[in-house]
Structure 1
Amino acid sequence: MDHALFDLLARWLHLIAGIIWVGHNYASVVQRPRWQPLAASDLSEAGGPRLQAVINREHGTFRWASVVAWGAGMFMLWQRGWLPGALTLQGGLAPIGMGAWLGTIMLLNLWFVLWPHQQKVLGLKPASVEERLRCSRITHLSSRTNTMLSVPLLFFMAAGSHGGALFG
């Protein structure tokens, strides 16, 4: 495959997956702008198979979009020979490096904090009602953390291509 075409594909994968990933967080904020604690009665009845399938598909889509967005971003940095300089925040690569580090923190937060707790809330992993209630608060805070981190992430991603010289 031609280098330019491969680069274009990586950029589009990064962009579309990033929109899906971050868009899910923004949609969550719009749908539920404030923390509303669940009641035990909210968790006492297991959802039907159709609801569980929808929940699994939705959560799977945005989780895997995070992996595609992060992987495509790291691949593009590596392909250009920028990965070491970006990750060590050197010169004009510092802004895109900050974006890469923020994206990495967001990815780790999603997969190692939010998702394990969300699985309990959704009943995909066994947990007591009390544990599920506790986990619902953790998932809310973890999701909001990623939403807030996405603002500087987007700034640094744009600054990497449009203004990186200001940081050099």
Structure 2
Amino acid sequence: METGFAFLDVFARWAHFIAGIIWVGHNYSSVVQRPSWQPLTAADLVSDTSPRFQTMLGREHGFFRWSSVVAWGAGMFMLWQRGWLEGALTLQGSLAPLGLGVWIGTLMMANLWLVLWPHQQKVLGFKPASVEERLRCSRITHLSSRTNTMLSIPLLFFMAAGAHGGFLFG
């Protein structure tokens, strides 16, 4: 492998690894911090200065969403660089476990960007919405986040099985 490609490979691996920890770790920390769902109240949303709203804003308005893009993009780059992308996406042979991980990760990222984030923008007041709508959206964001947390378990399994246990699928 050329030095330039070797550097890109190491960079992509670390970007994938660190961004994945940030992305999935955010979901796990959410479960630890809030093991059961506690619905917001109208009082939590009426004032942007409420302590609970400010806590949500600080935690949610971070860069964890973009770490999903970095993790997914770096993973796709690594598969492409090795010539494995098509085989993984079509679940062929020993690349099937990795491919399942890719599809689960893609579903998780779509859930984050197309379901969770649009609703979270309303909860946080970044997009105009009535208090009732914001309360409804808070439940959707909770369920969407928990869905990604649960999907991360098979995602991690299939990612690891691709390199450490692929014989199970051969």
Shorter-chain TM-score: which interval?
over 0.9
Q: Render the CA deviation track for 1:63-87: whole Å, top value 9, x for unaligned.
A: 0000000000000001101001101
SS at match of 2:63: helix
Q: Which residue matches 1:121?
A: 123
Would you say how many aligned residue pairs link Structure 1 and Structure 2?
Answer: 166
Corresponding residue to 2:72 among 64, 70, 73? 70
CA distance in 1, matches of 2:116, 2:98: 25
CA contact (8 A) 1:96 1:159 kept: yes
Q: Return the TM-score normalized by structure 2.
A: 0.92
Q: Render the CA deviation track for 1:9-57: whole Å, top value 9, x for unaligned.
A: 1000000000000000000000000011111111110238xx86x9368
What amino acid is aligned across from residue 63 of structure 2 in structure 1?
Answer: T
Q: Which residue matches 1:104?
A: 106
CA contact (8 A) 1:92 1:166 kept: no
CA distance in 2, matches of 1:103, 1:68: 12
Which region of structure 1 is more displaced relative to structure 2, 54-63 or 82-91? 54-63
List runs of 5+ in structure 2 lacking aligned partners.
none
What amino acid is aligned across from residue 8 of structure 1 in structure 2?
Answer: V
CA contact (8 A) 1:120 1:135 kept: yes
Q: Return the TM-score normalized by structure 1.
A: 0.93
Shift of 1:58: 4.7
Q: Which residue matches 1:85?
A: 87
Shift of 1:100: 0.3
CA distance in 1, matches of 2:34, 2:124: 17
1:11 corresponds to 2:13:
yes
CA distance in 2, matches of 1:87, 1:43: 43
SS at match of 1:47: coil
Q: Which residue matches 2:32?
A: 30
SS at match of 1:101: helix
What amino acid is aligned across from residue 146 of structure 2 in structure 1?
Answer: R
